[in-house]
């Protein structure tokens, strides 16, 4: 794993191609960015070794799987002691419904993004898990009505060279 990465245009295009389609063949990726399959393989291995590619994942369809609700939950801690923060951290780590959890600026301390089958499960999550937890003081949940855009792609075009 090299310490300082310097990416050229080909690397960026390869990263873009792979975050678009993670199962691209070196051959296909090579055609797309203008490189031979072998060189494509080498560059991809280098990008993985450099830690720029953190993994490959299948993106599943939530709706047909019966996970119909996407919810953002703002959480305020009871106290801001180190212990409390640690307990809360462990809690969200354990909860499978919580896809993402961030410490934020603004009103609430934390923002959670959770996926649940329906309102009943949301109620259970909030009332039976989050609120009773010793570390939590207040909870405010907002339900997603419509998904306008949902991509996990990083804006690579915004990068100045040598990022």
Partner DNA sequence: GTCTCTTCGCATGCTCCTTGCGCCACCGGT
Partner DNA sequence: ACCGGTGGCGCAAGGAGCATGCGAAGAGAC
- Which H or E element spans position 48? helix 37-49
- Angle at the Cα of 9 (from 149 to 158), degrees rounded to 5? 40
Q: Which residues bind a copy of itself (CB under 8 A)?
A: 5, 15, 18-23, 50-62, 64-67, 70, 72, 89, 92-93, 96-106, 110-111, 115-117, 121, 140, 142-160, 163
Q: Which residues bind DNA (CB under 7 A)?
A: 10, 25-28, 35-39, 41-45
21 vs 83, beta carbon nearer DNA = 21
> Rounded to whole angstroms, how far apart are CA atoms 127 and 109?
18
* Smallest gap from residue 44 Cβ to DNA (A): 6
State the binding partner of 130 from DNA, a copy of itself, none, CB within 5 to 8 A by kind.
none
* Smallest gap from residue 26 Cβ to DNA (A): 3
* Smallest gap from residue 3 Cβ to DNA (A): 14
**What burial letters (b/e) apply to 34-60, b meaning 16+ CB within 10 Å?**
ebeeeebbebbebbeeeeebeeeeeee
> Rounded to whole angstroms, how far apart are CA atoms 29 and 69?
35
> Rounded to whole angstroms, how far apart are CA atoms 37 and 15?
15
* Smallest gap from residue 41 Cβ to a copy of itself (A): 13
State the binding partner of 137 from DNA, a copy of itself, none, CB within 5 to 8 A by kind.
none
């Amino acid at each position: 794993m090299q310490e300082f990465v310097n990416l050229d245009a080909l690397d960026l295009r390869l990263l873009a191609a792979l975050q678009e389609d993670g199962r691209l063949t070196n051959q296909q990726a090579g055609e797309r960015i203008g490189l031979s399959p072998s060189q494509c393989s080498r560059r991809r291995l280098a990008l993985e070794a450099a830690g720029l590619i953190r993994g490959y994942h299948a993106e599943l369809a939530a709706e047909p799987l019966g996970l119909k609700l996407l919810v953002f939950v703002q959480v305020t801690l009871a106290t801001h002691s180190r212990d409390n923060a640690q307990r809360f951290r462990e809690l969200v780590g354990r909860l499978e419904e919580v896809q993402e959890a961030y410490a934020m600026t603004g009103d609430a301390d934390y923002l959670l993004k959770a996926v649940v089958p329906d309102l009943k499960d949301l109620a259970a999550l909030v009332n039976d898990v989050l609120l009773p937890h010793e570390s939590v003081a207040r909870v405010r949940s907002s339900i997603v009505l419509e998904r306008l855009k949902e991509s996990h792609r990083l804006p690579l075009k915004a990068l100045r060279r040598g990022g």
